[in-house]
Chain A
Amino acid sequence: MDRASVGIMAFLMVSATAVTVAYAQKDAAQDSIEAYREALQDGNPAELYEASGEDLWKTPAGPKAASLERCDLGLGPGVVKGAYAQLPRHFADTDRVQDLESRLLTCMQTLQGKDPKPYIEASFTAPPKEEMNALAAYISGQSKDAPIAVTLAHPKEQAMYDLGKRMFNYQGGPYDFACATCHGQEGTRIRLQDLPYIPSAKGAAAGWSSWPAYRVSAGQMWSMQWRLNDCFRQQRFPEPVYTSDATIALSMYMAATANGATMKTPGIKR
């Protein structure tokens, strides 16, 4: 080999080594981030919201002065334990596929006589919608360690899944983004945030099992509807209507893809 080639070879080999070292260092950084997240699990402020959510579930409210304790989340009236892990699902009384928050609105209407409109229109940090974050923390916490188990047995459940899958891949908005733009390939990251590959069981589980979650940087308890709303914002899509079919379809797609994984809610995030 002539001197130039040797020089180039040497350069490439040193670069390759440097890249390998950098990659190994990144894994070490990943490990530290994981260790930090493990440490954060203890003393998750979401527990404070679980307590206030339980209060909201049990305290009589609304024109009918009733609590939510007779609300059927899919496992029978008043059964909270394990219910979140089986949502979204079709409900016979409304003949709709519903996620947790839309089902809570149904119960608030029928049991408590509340008007859902203020809940739908308020911002996530304002009353009365902020109650939904606490309720989501409480109810999802009651499914902690339960296996995710949504079914697609009912034709409407299957239809929601299909719609969610199409929406996930549908490009739109001013940047031509789809959910898949960020979540449609393995091994990607935005700044320090790993992006799960949602079409896979493992990726869908990473997302679906860890929200609702307390976001430390914002000091806020985020429900799943809030998380989806923010995804739309991040893609510069128009804001979805709270608990609309669009949001339930995406939830159904993720939950069904995550089937079998263990719920770790409520989670804690950066």
Chain B
Amino acid sequence: MGSPMKIRASVKDGVTEIKVLMGHEMETGQRKDANGAVIPAWFINEVTAKLDGKTVMQAQWGPSISKNPYLAFKVKGGKAGDKVSVTWVDNKGDTRTDEAAAT
């Protein structure tokens, strides 16, 4: 149960633009702490977005995605009031889903 995402979705000319800000450390596993010990990898590796109950986007992420990732993408179709749902899963098995209504 990670930190809440901020989701914004707006429909314009038959295209829904979805913007998601996720709060996540996204540790690459390459960094070392002050004592020289490797800071373990901890990053989102799967993202799924649904519009009105249908999966519209799936992504496989790796350590190169930055901390607190911001994801923006456009989907054909959708109308105001449709439910946008975004889910992420990280390499430790933690998951988070947040929803918003398209405007």
Contacts and interface: CB of A to CB of B under 8 A. Distances in A.
Interface string B1-35: 00110100000000000011101000000000000
A45 interface: yes
A219 interface: yes
B61 interface: no
A43 B4 contact: no
B50 interface: no
Contact of A45 (B4, B19, B23, B72): B23
B72 A48 contact: no
Contact of B67 (A44, A47, A51, A219): A219
Contacts of A45: 21, 23, 67-68, 70
A43 B3 contact: no
B58 interface: no
Given A43-B19, A45-B21, A219-B66, A51 B4 contact: yes
A51 B5 CA distance: 10
Contacts of B23: 45, 48
Nearest to B71: A43
B3 A52 contact: yes
Chain B contact patch, size range: 10 to 19
Given A42-B19, A43-B21, A48 B3 contact: yes
B51 to A, nearest CB: 19
Nearest to B20: A43
Chain A contact patch, size range: 10 to 19
Interface string A219-262: 10000000000000000000000000000000000000000000
Interface string A8-50: 0000000000000000000000000000000000111101100
Interface in B57-90: 66-68, 70, 72
B99 to A, nearest CB: 16
Contact of B21 (A48, A52, A216): A48
A48 to B, nearest CB: 4
B52 to A, nearest CB: 23
Interface of A: 42-45, 47-48, 51-52, 216, 219
27 contacts: A42-B19, A42-B70, A42-B72, A43-B19, A43-B20, A43-B21, A43-B70, A43-B72, A44-B21, A45-B21, A45-B23, A45-B68, A45-B70, A47-B6, A47-B21, A48-B3, A48-B4, A48-B21, A48-B23, A48-B68, A51-B4, A51-B6, A52-B3, A216-B66, A219-B66, A219-B67, A219-B68
